[in-house]
Structure 1
Amino acid sequence: MSAPLLQVQGLRSGYGAVEVLRGVDLEVRPGEIVALLGSNGAGKTTFNHTVSALVAARAGSVRFDGRDITRAHYRSVVGAGLIQVPEGRRIFPNLSVLENLELGSFTRARHHRAANLERVFSIFPRLKERTRQMAGTMSGGEQQMLAIGRGLMGEPRLLILDEPSLGLSPLLVEELFGLIGRLHAEGLAILLVEQNVAQSLEIAQRAYVMENGAIQFSGSSAELLATDRLRQAYLGV
């Protein structure tokens, strides 16, 4: 078995006097899709921000490709190839589609910008048709494509997708999960952070379930689907 690409041990963090993460352990191996599941407020986004060095860890460690990045600057984290597509897309609405994409290679892969643009356009033809359009005038589904495309411009080794299906129609959710499967087939490691438990477990090899800032369940997707408590709490069966 290959060594973990991302290895998180005993991670604690929070905001002010409030501790949100309470000793989280999680691993993602090269080329693997791992799902981090949980309801709104479980601590998933705080986990993403702490791993990405946007929120300071209070205890524990984060290692990426064997290197300790627990207290690294967030630009160093991106430079190493750990790239997050944030919840809510966070595109720049007053910039064009092309300008948003180019910003994705500001810290990493700048010299490969042209080739990576062509790759993104091959994945998202609609973005190529709208390169001059202001990003804020696009539909929610198109903005999610743009956010993912911007992440891909940095040539991620691990792509964190934070609630990518949030606010999308069922048809677009199906399209999105198909895209995630395609990126995985190309060898990209993905940490899929979602409330959509059923579809996430269909596509992920392994999953972790977070409640109140701590991991309550972990294992293969098949193992978690067989867990009565999880099925009752998240799948309603």
Structure 2
Amino acid sequence: MLEIRALRAGYGRVEILRGIDLEVRTGEIVAVLGSNGVGKSTLNNNISGLYRPFGGSIRFKGEELAGRKSTDIVKMGVIHVPEGRRIFPNMSVRENLELGSIARGTARRKANLERVVGIFPRLQERFTQHAGTLSGGEQQMLAIGRGLMSEPELLIMDEPSLGLSPRLVDEMFGLVRQLNAAGQSILLMEQNAVQTLAIAHRAYVIENGMVAMQGNAADLMNDPALRKNYLGL
């Protein structure tokens, strides 16, 4: 579904990613792990067309994404739920959700809205409430729900557990597993390695702008080097 080869990317003259190879197959959860500053968000921003890569290839279902407008990439079905939620705080919950269907999914907006509130009943209880008054967990639900309104073929989730309480983190990873069980392909960027590897099919570990380790998530979880150097186990 997604194939990235020799991707080099960054900002201005600063190169953050230095030759990334990565792929996501249909129906998978693929995790990208790494600490702050290693390039996870840079990778997302280039897949989503917010920035143009310095070099390399990003192909979605065989079509090159590098150089395309971000709105065109959304229309193709690549949907990015950004780090920090990025909701519109002075708009209602319902308005935030409906904004998710502007570029893609407009014809089925009502059905998609019903699907989202079926997954997140709390959002329906707060339809008319300003999004900025929601709790952190509810705002994360809203950000994901807005992404689902676009009918994603590939859902990119950037640090969905960031800033949540331990209980809500458990709920969030349960939700990711639930979405995948329903057929959703997911590219998951996270610092929470243990819980991410527990639900992912495959994973990549990025260090210094390059892929340091990759493989089946279960194998990586049991890799002595990763457990010692990255998981601290």
2:2 corresponding residue in structure 1: 6
Match for 1:204: what amino acid?
A
RMSD: 0.6
1:72 corresponding residue in structure 2: 68
Judge which range, 224-233 or 142-151, deviates more.
224-233
1:236 corresponding residue in structure 2: 232
Distance 1:24 1:32 in 2: 19
Distance 2:20 2:108 in 1: 35
Distance 1:77 1:44 in 2: 19
**SS of match in other structure, 1:57:** coil
1:182 aligns with 2:162: no
- Structure 1: any 5+ residue segments left out of the alignment? none
1:32 aligns with 2:28: yes
Give the 5 Å matches for 1:16-165. Answer: 16-165=12-161
Deviating runs (4+, > 3 A) in structure 1? none
Equivalent residue for 1:210, pick from 206, 209, 213: 206
Cα-to-partner distance string for 1:19-69 (whole Å, 9 max, x where unaligned): 001000100001100000001111000000011110111100000011111
Distance 2:86 2:186 in 1: 19
Match for 2:148: what amino acid?
L
Match for 1:216: what amino acid?
A
Distance 2:135 2:124 in 1: 15
**SS of match in other structure, 2:3:** strand
Distance 1:18 1:12 in 2: 10
- Structure 2: any 5+ residue segments left out of the alignment? none
2:197 corresponding residue in structure 1: 201
Query: How far did residue 233 of structure 1 move?
Result: 2.0
Match for 1:114: what amino acid?
K
Distance 1:205 1:50 in 2: 23
| TM-score computed with the length of structure 1 as normaliser | 0.97
Query: How far did residue 226 of structure 1 move?
Result: 2.4
How many residues get paired?
233
**SS of match in other structure, 2:84:** coil
| TM-score computed with the length of structure 2 as normaliser | 0.99
Cα-to-partner distance string for 1:87-135 (whole Å, 9 max, x where unaligned): 0000000000000000000100111100000000000000000000000
Match for 1:152: what amino acid?
L
**SS of match in other structure, 2:150:** coil
Distance 1:135 1:210 in 2: 33
Distance 2:43 2:93 in 1: 29
